[in-house]
Each structure stands twice: as C-alpha cells, then as structure tokens.
A and B are shown apart, each in its own frame.
Chain A
Amino acid sequence: MYTTELQKNVQAIETAEDLALLDAFEARVAADEFIEPKDWMPEAYRKTLVRQISQHAHSEIVGMLPEGNWITRAPSLRRKAILLAKVQDEAGHGLYLYCAAETLGTSREEMIEALHSGKAKYSTIFNYPTLTWADIAAIGWLVDGAAIMNQVPLQRTSYGPYARAMVRVCKEESFHQRQGYEAMMALASGSPEQKRMAQDALNRWWWPSLMMFGPPDENSPNTERSMRWRIKRETNDELRQKFVDITVPQAEFIGLTVPDEALAWNEAKGGYDFGEVDWEEFYAVVRGEGPVAKERIKSRRDAWENNAWVRDAAAAYEQKQRGRAAA
C-alpha cells in the first residue's frame, strides 16, 4: 500500500542553515548518492520525509482493516490462508516503514498518537467500504497494483532507510497484486452473479485507485522540490498514466469493463486517454469525509486499546525477569 504525500506545507529552508552544507547536500542527492540517518540534511527534507514515510506506514496499518474483516469470510481455506498472509505482510510493511521514519528522530509513540488523533493522514483509498468478496480481489489487483507503481521508483529514493524498506516492500507486494488478480479472474469466469460482483467491485474501486496517485501535477506544488531531492522520482500524473496503460488490458483479458466512457487508446501518445478524476471527492476524502473514515480509525483505536494488556504484560514480565537477574 502507499499513500501519496497529502499535506504540503513545509517551510522554506531556514536562512540560518549553513548554505555550504545545503549545497553539498543538494550535490550529493543530485549525484544519486544516498543520505543516511546521521548525515546532515535540511530540516525541510527531514520533516517532509517523516510525514511521507509515516503516512505510508499508517496506510499499511490501516490497510489491514478492510481486508482483515474478510479473513473469516474468505470463500475457501486457500483464499483464507492467502489473505491472512497478505494482511500479515501489510503489518510487516508498516513496521519496516515506522522504523525508517524513526531514524529521522521521531518516535513510534508519536506517530501512532498522530494516527489515532486524526492529525496524521493515510491513503484515501482505505476510507471506502469493502462490501463483497470481490472487493478484496479488487483491492489486491488495483490498490496493490497502484501501490507497486508508486513504490517501485521509491526503491531509488534518496533516503537510505526508506529506499531499503521499499526494496523489501516491493519484493513482497507482487504477490498481493497477483493473488488479487487471480481471485478477480476466478469471479469473472464464474456464474453470472459472480461476474456481476466482479464488475461491480471494479466499478467502485477504479476511480479511488486512480486517486491514490495524488492530485494532478499542476496542483501538486511541492512536486518539483521533492523530485529534486529524490523523495519522489516520478510525478503523480506520469504514474497515473502508467497505471491506466497496464491495467486496462488486464481488465479486458478477464472480460471486465473499466468504468470510464472517455477511455480510448491514443496511438499518437502510445497510451490511453481517460476521463477526469472527481477531485472534489478526492479532497473530501483527504479532509476525512470518506464513507468509512470514522469507522476505520475507531477500529484501529479499539485494536490498540483493547490489546494494551498484552503490551503491559510483556513489559511487566521483562521487569520481573530483570528483578530476578539482579537478585
């Protein structure tokens, strides 16, 4: 899973900062060198990364919720085992990313608190409901597909710990997309009712998936700096176009129709033309007005609070062991 960077209000470089250090930093990044935790970096780079990486981590964690509630209802033992493994991977991805963000000086506790209080954002896609089993297939195919599109270039992002986390995530993400497409393929070649279910899921997940790439380039003011700093390697619109170009033939292959009347192959550009995303809806979901936004955060908070006793017990056990060792 992936979240695009949603709040872009980072200050300009503070004038007090040493311009020579900044020049050296910019030169290193321009030469595709990696920046490591103890290296000097501009405050704005640090802040942007903390926000971007933690939003990404939160998306992995919240992403477990819509899928997790389908584990008990998966249609076969095979699908259940697969979904369980996928959800476990999402937890792992969240953990890799939280650790990467922590190397920048924030703490796990601060990040989790920011998620639970609503201060931190996560991907808009998870604030849509998962109504049928086909939605779980669609999420693997489209949402993880979009995530891969976003994450592959981030393996070369300039911040070393983030890039390394992305290498691990990308290795594991391909399974997520393939199992989703396979589940969708099974439905699309099933009974008329199953096929309707598959088409309905595609209809509802197509546009939110395109929104995952973030606002159009002309409304993404910090893209230029993020590209220069190699925090971002391709623009939102470039990635969105790539996603449409590879996904449309996949839908056609299993006899499903992408819900966009403006969709047409454009020979001259070697890609598809497609309709305008409903940006009003996107910004509403970013503001927290997604259909199940409140429910998601409540589930997340409940999971955290109801399992506090496990963390407390582990901490108490450690103290007891330490007391015994000292005695």
Chain B
Amino acid sequence: MSGHDWPLWEVFVRSKGGLSHRHVGSVHAPDPKLALAHARDTYTRRMEGVSLWVVKSTDIIASDPADSGPIFEPAEDKVYRHPTFYDIPDDVKHI
C-alpha cells in the first residue's frame, strides 16, 4: 500500500534580497512546477520570501552523523585559526 506518494522536494526560501536561501521544509509534488507552486502555498503565505528553490530530496547528499567525529573534530584543536588566539598589545591599533 506504500509507494504511491509523489516525490519529496526540499524547499529553500530567500527571505529578502542580499540573504542566502535557507531550508524551510519540504513538500510532495509530481513535477518541479507543482513543487514550486506547493512550496509557495505552504511556506510563503506571509511574505516570508522573495525567491524559492526546490530540490528533489533524493538529490541531496548528506554526511552521516556516525562520521561526524572524523569529519568535524579535526577543527577543534586548531584554535590558531581564530583571530582571538593571538595576543597583541592594546596599544597597537587597527589590527
């Protein structure tokens, strides 16, 4: 009885010019045009955006939470990548 749902699309909204598109949720639709129409009705009823993207959910490649250690932890011990790591005397200006 399963398997008749329309494909799932992830919806991204640009809330105003100058900002990036941001993920807001998903919709089911048979084709890209209807996916956009459904995204508009579902996620922008109150002027939430000026631009929409829809992407088939199956086209998104996601990292595996089980691998988040090897992927993200190496950054943790590299504090020298942040400006606050460096001690500069207060008298030195504009740095």
- Give the interface of B toward A (CB within 8 A): 1-6, 8, 24-28, 30-31, 34, 41-43, 45-46, 62, 64-65
Contact = CB atoms under 8 A, between A and B. Distances in A.
A99 interface: yes
Contacts of B41: 88, 92
Interface stretch (A105-113, A135-143, A183-191, A195-203): A105-113
A124 to B, nearest CB: 27
B35 to A, nearest CB: 10
Given A113-B1, A172-B46, A99 B31 contact: no
A235 B1 CA distance: 37
Interface residues of A, number: 26
A89 B45 contact: yes
Contact of A107 (B2, B27, B65): B2
B37 to A, nearest CB: 10
Given A39-B65, A113-B1, 16 more contacts: A38-B64, A88-B41, A89-B45, A92-B41, A99-B26, A99-B27, A102-B8, A107-B3, A107-B5, A165-B25, A168-B25, A172-B45, A172-B46, A314-B34, A315-B6, A317-B31
Contacts of B2: 107, 109-110
Nearest to A94: B42
Contacts of A318: 30-31, 34
B42 A108 contact: no
23 contacts: A36-B65, A39-B65, A85-B45, A88-B41, A92-B42, A92-B43, A92-B45, A95-B42, A96-B25, A99-B26, A99-B27, A102-B8, A102-B26, A107-B2, A107-B3, A107-B5, A108-B28, A109-B1, A164-B25, A314-B6, A314-B34, A315-B30, A318-B30
A65 B90 CA distance: 67
Contact of A99 (B6, B25, B34, B46): B25
A310 to B, nearest CB: 11
Contacts of B24: 168
Nearest to A175: B46
Interface string A88-128: 11001001100100100001111001000000000000000
Contacts of B62: 38
Contacts of B42: 92, 95-96
A305 to B, nearest CB: 14
A39 B67 CA distance: 11
B30 A109 contact: no
Interface of A: 36, 38-40, 85, 88-89, 92, 95-96, 99, 102, 107-110, 113, 164-165, 168, 172, 314-315, 317-318, 321
A99 to B, nearest CB: 5
Contacts of B46: 172
A227 B2 CA distance: 32
A315 B41 CA distance: 19
Nearest to A319: B30
B87 to A, nearest CB: 33
Nearest to A92: B42
A164 B2 CA distance: 26
B45 A109 contact: no
B5 A108 contact: yes
Contact of A314 (B8, B30, B43, B64): B30
